[in-house]
Structure 1
Amino acid sequence: MNQTTPAIVAQSAVRRLPRIALWLLCLAYILPGFIGRAPWRNNDMTTFGYIAELARGSTAWLQPTLQGQSPEIEALLPYWLGAWAVKLAPHSWATDFVARIPFMLLLAMALTTTWYAVYYLARSPRAQPVAFAFGGEAKPADYARAMADGGLLAMIACLGMAQLSHETTPALAQLAFTALSFFALAAMPYRTGIPLIGVVLGLAGLALSGAPTMAVLLGLGGALVCFLDRNAQDPGEPCNAPRSLRWSLAVLMVTVAVATLAWALDQWRWRIDLPETNWPSLRNLARLLLWFTWPVWPLAVWTLWRWRRQLTSGNFGRHLALPLWFVAVALAATLTTDAADRSLMLALPAMATLAAFALPTLSRTVSALVDWFTLLFFTIFALIIWVVWVAAQTGVPKQPAANLARLLPGFMPSFEWFPFAVALAASLVWVWLVKWRVGRHRSAIWKSLVLPAGGTALCWLLLMTLGMPAVNFGRSYLPLVRNVDRVIRAQSPGRALPDCVEFDNLTRGQIAAFQFHGRLVLKPARGTTQCAWLLVDVTTARPLPKAVDKSTWLLKLGVRRRADNGEAVQLYQRIKP
């Protein structure tokens, strides 16, 4: 009997979550956001720009550039995956959609490997529930499977992951390879070939996705956990210290090889950016930590409290040590890099694992509190989405329609049957899920996370179906490019595109957008360049670039995107002598 475990779980509480329901939930979370949208501004569009350049053969594979500019994140593998997909796909397929397919698979891999990581950690002897005097406690395999279901539900429920996990950026690749490494280290006591392949691909993929330092730190911590673990076998089996030592050395060797690979490909960069100590910066960071990982962080904290006897005994198992190390490394990156939200996302697989180990220790009162809070929060949020959509379509109620028109000036709502049918079906499923949850049925340890995961998937799906036209208008460069394209074609003979367009001060995302959406041939503004048009970003409040000579250029259009309260681009036409 494990005296230090707080988990008291009967066999009746570890029934499986129906596989069809789990698969449908994952599909409802993964597919919306990848299908039926244009590339979004900033990082999403920028990554697609590098992918398109690689697919066209316009840049080197080991040093991708976009109009001579290197990526802000010195990653390679995410751009390679997107470019390979574009080159292999039929030419009739939309290029931006094809580039998103590998990232869709990466998100699916992150969810799958998180499930298996929780499963193998829950098989650890010190993670097992209390053995009953007359039997009836949960069987190890059934207990681990139910805990894995809870861990996957916890990860889907994280509010901050929804948008970032559906963007084609190196951050999603980092999440997927972090989860793969986490799974490989968790499965080492029970498998041989798959964990070894997983740790090689996970750490190497993480290093080639712009996070070599994290890959090395996770590898070193994983090797230490393997070395210190002396209870890696099922209950009743003798300890196998030599096996733990071999795994520790293997992980250490892989880590050294990955560090060498990153050095050979020039992937090491100094990105330490300590946070400011003023109150606004600290407040924003605290808000990010609170809402981004909701609702898993309260459950993770509860796990540390309820399992504190193992934490203070000096012999706590890998089910606590491994996720704690992954969380600590991700939190350190969050506090010391400028991309705090993307770094914090890498902690979610491990935090979801810690949250899963809180489930066997929750009282009925706490479970009911989570259910009612989740029910009210997501039902209200879903109703708001429906009300805004109805207002956009009909003008009633007037206030939501006026707010939408103010936030997205120029946006014209449209009605499409298929997104409407999907959103309606998802809403009906949510009603059924709520009815099932409040009904009388046998208890299961994952039941407290059904509504959080289902509510997050519902609201994300509604945003990506009913709200997709508005999201595309506000989050993509399409309106900006269309305004510029309209002026250029109106002033061009035969309404044809010009041979080239000079640009100055444009962001990487803007360059990629004008090349993809506008099909413009862009060239940096130099003294030797002689194009008929010039594009200039004047978002920042500084004097016009030197490229804008008023004796040479005539202002034809100024576009300011009020959707994001800033971005402004000016279009100039060359004055004919």
Structure 2
Amino acid sequence: MLTYTPPHEQDLPPATEKPWLLLLLCLAWLLPGLLGLEPLKPDEPIVADIVRHFIDGHPLSLPMLAGEAWVERAPLFYWVATGFAWLGQWLGLSLHEGARLATGCFMALALWGTGMTARELIGRRHGRSAVLILIGCAGLLLPGHALTTDVAVLAGWCWGGYALALAPRRPYPAAAILGAALATCGLAGSLAEPAMLLLLALLLPLFRAWRFPRYGIVLLIALAIALPLVAAWPMALSHASTAAYGQWLDHYALGFFGGFAQVQLGHPFGYYLRLLPWFAWPAWFLAAATLWMQRERLMQPRFQLPLVAAALALLCLLLSNSGRAGYALLLLPPLAWIGAVGLDVLRRGASAFVNWFGVMTFGLLALFLWGCWLAMHFGLPMRLSGRIQELAPSFSPTFSILALLLCLGFTLAWLWAVSRRRPVGRQAVTNWAAGITLCWGLAVLIAGNWVNARTSYRDFARTIAPSLPKTGCIASENLQASQRAILHYYLGLSTLRREVHPNPACDWLLRQGGSEALNPPPGWQLVWQGSRPGDRKERFYLYRQDAP
């Protein structure tokens, strides 16, 4: 097996996979979760509040969260989400549901770019393999359906990979695509992401496939397209708010590494080493198996681009100052490209392990989700039903024929998928992708309302609203950014943070504490206290200052 030479593309047997089945699987993975869920911490409340700020007619150059500038990430995703939210209002969608359609748009672009890169690097039939490996990654599931700027950066990174793979064959279209990809990374993330993509492009001429006369022209055209676009927002921000521009430049401009005031390296030790084994599964396992089996062919162009891309992404993760899971998304496409190379020649034992592990894991998880459905609607088994109600006391199940039919459709489609006969490598990744799609669809359809009841701040906002003053300012203490965003999103409430304004002249104070009760500060009277239903870690206290 180790001396096996893959057949040339013209010698491959006719493809048995149907493109429409791949498209259907991608849609089944992508669509559940975009609608019907309330904003979830940590990113979604922040993005939803920024989108509301833009829809209210404020300048697009200055993102604001609860009355304060928010410049941790560049605003391209916020702009696109605002457009979708505006269109969604005409369809009767809530603001955050409409904005979440931008996530679906960027994720579709990321999957498309991943498939195009694999097809260009490896050959026909391998694009779908890379897409299946990518959507099977456990770490992509939640950010791939959430309001987060990371998916826009991921889309730019994937299309940047395609541009570099295309450059030896069609340099001028590749230059335009590379320029757009660089601009997307810079306008959706920070300066670090386009710099990493540009560094990848500069390293590739170390290999013969990218040492052709017009490669320099490709880079010049790409930079001519990207640099004015990337520079446009910081310039607009500096005109809109000098303070916000200084904050971005000093603390956030370099993304992974902080800002220019002080480049910061090093995150909590071992964070990504603990994250990646499950986050990038099964992509890292398939990539590792491919590299071992094809270790004598690693100097082929189909390995060179993804290996350099993966090395750069991993190096940035290990050196970065931020322990943020969203940054690890950039490692997934290169691993998928490498894994796709060896999928058809993967050893039967490795393929059987991935296939068996996926079928058993997702089959059992699907059975558990169906058990949750029975417990929610029929109270059986009683112990599970009681636990579900205990974790979300405000949850009230509603029976939906449409949701039941969709759940049955997901289950039957998965049973059909795992029973089909295909080459063992492709069968393994197809069954894995189908399994993760099945469980995600069942989780959203069965437990979506339960998740809203347990994690949403909407009921909390309705509970505290009658106790808030009609006029005057409210100080706050120990509120996270997502909590301030939630209060502003649902109630229009902006507070003066004591962390920024040590002695605000406010007669009201909102504090957040943990499981242990907080005593009123001297001179303050407790007016209200509460938390989200079933939440024992966060409790909020509203105080009014005693009259002198």
Q: TM-score range by the shorter chain?
A: 0.7 to 0.9
Contact 1:44 1:167 in 2 (8 A): yes
Identity percentage over the alignment?
Answer: 26
Contact 1:181 1:199 in 2 (8 A): yes
Could you tell me how far apart the structure 2 residues matched to 1:206 and 1:36 are? 29
Shift of 1:522: 2.9
Secondary structure, in 3 states, of the residue corresponding to 2:369? helix
Q: TM-score, normalised by structure 2?
A: 0.85
> Which of 43-52 and 150-159 deviates more?
43-52
* 2:455 and 2:532 in contact (8 A); partners too: no
- Using the alignment, how far apart are the partners of 2:171 and 2:278 within structure 1? 38
1:233-382 correspondence runs (5 A)? 241-248=212-219, 250=221, 264=235, 266=249, 268-269=253-254, 270-271=257-258, 272-277=264-269, 282=270, 285-311=272-298, 316-335=299-318, 336-382=320-366
Distance 1:223 1:448, change over 3 A: same
Tell me what 1:237 maps to: none
- Provide TM-score, normalisation by structure 1: 0.81
Aligned residue number for residue 373 of structure 2: 389
Instruction: Return 144-153 or 251-260, whichever deviates more.
Output: 251-260
Displacement after TM superposition at 1:105 (Å): 0.3
Output one character per residue of 1:404-432: Cα deviation in whole Å (capped at 9) or x when no partner. Answer: 23433433333222222211110111111
- 2:456 matched to which residue of 1? 476
What residue in structure 1 maps to residue 202 of structure 2?
223
Counterpart pick for 2:403 among 416, 419, 433: 419
Spell out, residue by residue over 1:211-269, the C-alpha distance to the aligned partner (whole angstroms, 9 max, x if none): 321311221222331x244347xxxxxxx832344435555666766776687564624
Give the Cα–Cα distance (whole angstroms) in 2 for the partners of residues 410 and 223 of structure 1: 56
- Superposed CA offset, 1:485-525 (max 9, x none): 3x53xxx9xxxx935662413322222222333x3443426
C-alpha contact (below 8 Å) 2:74/2:187 kept by paired residues: yes
- Taking the aligned partners of 1:113 and 1:150, their CA distance within structure 2 comes to 13
Q: What is the CA deviation profile of residues 513-548 of structure 1, one whole-angstrom value per residue up to 9, with x for unaligned ones?
A: 22333x3443426777667x643223498987xxx7
Aligned-partner residue type, residue 190 of structure 2: A
CA distance in 1 between partners of 2:51 and 2:506 (Å) = 28
Describe the SS at the equivalent of 1:347.
helix
User: Residue 408 of structure 1 is aligned with which of 377, 384, 392?
Assistant: 392
Mapped to 2, the partners of 1:447 and 1:13 lie a distance apart of 16
RMSD: 3.1
Alignment of 1:413-562 (within 5 A): 413-437=397-421, 443=423, 446-485=426-465, 487-488=466-467, 498-499=470-471, 502-505=474-477, 506-517=479-490, 519-524=491-496, 534-539=509-514, 551=523, 553-559=525-531, 562=534
TM-fit CA distance, 1:154: 0.4
Structure-2 change in CA distance of 1:551 and 1:452 (3 Å): same
Taking the aligned partners of 2:495 and 2:324, their CA distance within structure 1 comes to 33
Match of 1:208 in 2: 187
SS at match of 1:150: helix
- Aligned 8 A contact 1:29 1:461 in 2: yes
Change (3 A) 1:287 1:404: farther
- Counterparts of 2:289 and 2:102, CA distance in 1: 36
**Separation in 2, partners of 1:117, 1:89:** 32
Q: How many positions carry a matched residue from both structures? A: 518
Equivalent pair of 2:107/2:155 in contact (CA under 8 Å): yes
SS in 2 for 1:536: strand
Asked which structure has the greater RCO (Cα within 8 Å, sep 6+), the reply is 1
Structure 1: gaps spanning 5 or more residues: 123-143, 233-239
**CA separation in 2, counterparts of 1:50 and 1:221?**
33
TM superposition shift of 1:42: 1.9
Q: CA deviation at 1:84?
A: 3.2
Q: Aligned partner of 1:200: which letter?
A: G
Q: Counterpart of 2:19?
A: 19
SS of match in other structure, 2:325: helix
Matches within 5 A, 1:111-130: 111-122=111-122
Query: Deviation digits for residues 133-159 of structure 1, max 9, x if unmatched?
Result: xxxxxxxxxxx2211111110001001
Q: Describe the shift of the 1:520–1:73 C-alpha distance in structure 2 as closer, same or farther (beyond 3 A).
A: closer
Residues 317 and 253 (structure 1), Cα distance of their counterparts in 2 relative to 1, 3 Å cut:
farther
